Amino acid sequence: MRLLVLEDDPQLGTEIAGGLRSAGYAVDLVATIADADLSVTVNRYDCLVVDRSLPDGDGLELVRRLRASASRVPVLVLTAMDAVVDRVTGFAEGADDYLVKPFAFAELAARVGALCRRADQPRPPVLRAGGLEVDTARKRVRRDGVLLSVGAKEFAVLELLMIRAGQVVSRTDLIEHCWDEQADPMSNVVDAVIAQLRRKLGPTVISTVRGAGYLVDGPAA
């Protein structure tokens, strides 16, 4: 899953982005509404985390424009503005969730995960295909009932393949959803992660569709 974090405090922004990356998300970090506008124009995000008090205005301006354009990308507002009227305004402008600073990072990660799961195509927290089970809430993978150890990027790639089980997922889609804007689309990062997953899951779980991408037989349930 790919996230955009709009936070102007350099230290806090770095901490939020780093924590979410450790939780398995690809994260782009920007500090102004103008940069966020550009990012949502050129990239596809699964969720936005938006501060309100920014150098070039209120982060709700971004949310308002997104909703006016019929964008349904989930938005979590993360701000120190904690009055009831502030929360009500946030939801009225189109925010899906509102979390006040200071906050517990575990709660932020849980709320982001919940928003991603109930986006345009709601899905259950546990995805299953054949003997493979991916718990997106707890970040756990089981094969035939056996708990496996997978890295954050491996989990992100496997999660997307399971969400689209029965469909071919292209390398481009994997790059756009599982890596941030610093990733080189011409590198072999996708192939390397797929190879790692095959070593852990077994060679037959993820199929290569030559010239098209990768496939986990499904459908997921």
Q: How far apart are CA 169 and CA 190, in angstroms?
A: 11
CA atoms within 13 A on the CB side of 182: 4
pTM: 0.70
User: pLDDT per residue over 173-190, tens digit each?
Assistant: 898 888 887 666 567 889
Residue 200 has pLDDT above 70, yes or no: yes
User: pLDDT per residue over 130-179, tens digit each?
Assistant: 889 999 888 899 998 999 999 988 999 999 999 888 889 998 889 888 88
| Beta strand extents in 97-205 (DSSP E only) | 97-100, 126-129, 132-135, 140-143, 146-148
Q: Residues 26-44: what's their mean pLDDT?
A: 93
Q: How far apart are CA 206 and CA 217, in angstroms?
A: 8
Residue 81 has pLDDT above 90, yes or no: yes
Pick the CATH number of 2-117 from 1.10.8.60, 2.60.40.420, 3.40.30.10, 3.40.50.2300: 3.40.50.2300
The per-residue pLDDT for 118 is: 75
Residue 79: pLDDT band (50, 70, 90) is very high
The per-residue pLDDT for 130 is: 80
At the top level of CATH, the class of 126-216 is: mainly alpha
User: pLDDT per residue over 105-135, tens digit each?
Assistant: 999 999 998 898 776 556 677 888 888 999 9
The pLDDT mean for the chain works out to 89
In angstroms and rounded to an integer, the radius of gyration of the C-alpha atoms of the chain is 18
Residue 192 has pLDDT above 80, yes or no: yes
Domain boundaries, the chain: 2-117, 126-216
Residue 220 has pLDDT above 50, yes or no: no
Q: How far apart are CA 38 and CA 35, in angstroms?
A: 5
Q: How far apart are CA 138 and CA 93, in angstroms?
A: 31
Residue 221: pLDDT band (50, 70, 90) is very low
